[in-house]
Amino acid sequence: MSTSSSPCICLASASPRRRELLAGIKVGVEVRPVDLDETPFDGEAPEAYVTRLACQKASAGHQPDGLPTLGADTAVVRNGEILGKPADAEHAAAMLRSLAGGTHEVMTAVAVCGPAGLLSTCVRSRVTLREIDEAEIVAYWRTGEPADKAGGYAIQGLGAVFVTHLEGSYSAVVGLPLCETADLLSRQGVPLWNRLVS
């Protein structure tokens, strides 16, 4: 599957958000999701964790002599603890309670495997949420939005109403740091600006 008649990279992810972000900068993709065990290693630091997964996804999805392959991973981190996707409503509620009224980190790593080898970077952003009452937590879960989101909320969706401050990269919090991604793609020979003006 591709989002363009002439994809210039493979995307080792089924995330519609990452596809949309790449489409926004006119990068056509061939979607090639990979299935990996995303369990953190014992004692693994959050930045090392997301970087490892992004690199593993890019490497696993890459085919010799094929298009450059992009992998990415995002983690919501509170007090050094990685908050993944909620298992159920109770888990989602507990995560939102822990994030409400405070500031947490969002770490997104991106890796591109291609002619220049395996290149990667990790972007750290800080997000502050207002206090969230129990009725809002229940209502938010019922929308379905938190179910597949790290940390149990989506800054690009209804969850934006909880966000009072963002320090860092908005696109990275959504799932892909576009500035850094464009740089990695350029280093792999993907001519972003030529595509935009041609």
Contact 2, 30 (CB under 8 A): yes
- The confidence score (pLDDT) of residue 1 equals 47
List, in sequence order, every beta strand (DSSP E) within 15-162: 29-31, 69-78, 81-83, 103-114, 117-129
pLDDT band per the 50, 70, 90 thresholds, residue 4: very low
User: pTM for the whole thing?
Assistant: 0.91
Q: 118 - beta bridge partners?
A: 113
Angle at 69 between CA 12 and CA 117, to 5 degrees: 135
Q: How far apart are CA 19 and CA 72, in angstroms?
A: 12
List the catalytic residue out of 73, 133, 148, 183. 73
Q: 39-91, pLDDT tens digit by residue?
A: 999 999 999 999 999 999 999 999 988 899 999 999 999 999 999 899 999 99
- The residue type found at 102 is G
Q: 87-121, pLDDT tens digit by residue?
A: 999 999 999 999 999 999 999 999 999 999 999 99
- Tokens (6 digits) for 92: 């989602």
- Give 73-102 as a DSSP string: EEEEEETTEEE---SSHHHHHHHHHHHBTS
Report the CATH fold assignment for 9-197: Maf protein (3.90.950)
- What is the residue whose two structure tokens read 């519609």? 16
Q: Which residue, 126, 91, 81, is CA-closest to 108? A: 126
Contact 66, 32 (CB under 8 A): no
Q: 107 - beta bridge partners?
A: 75, 124
Q: State yes or no: is 183 an active-site residue.
A: no
Contact 149, 73 (CB under 8 A): no
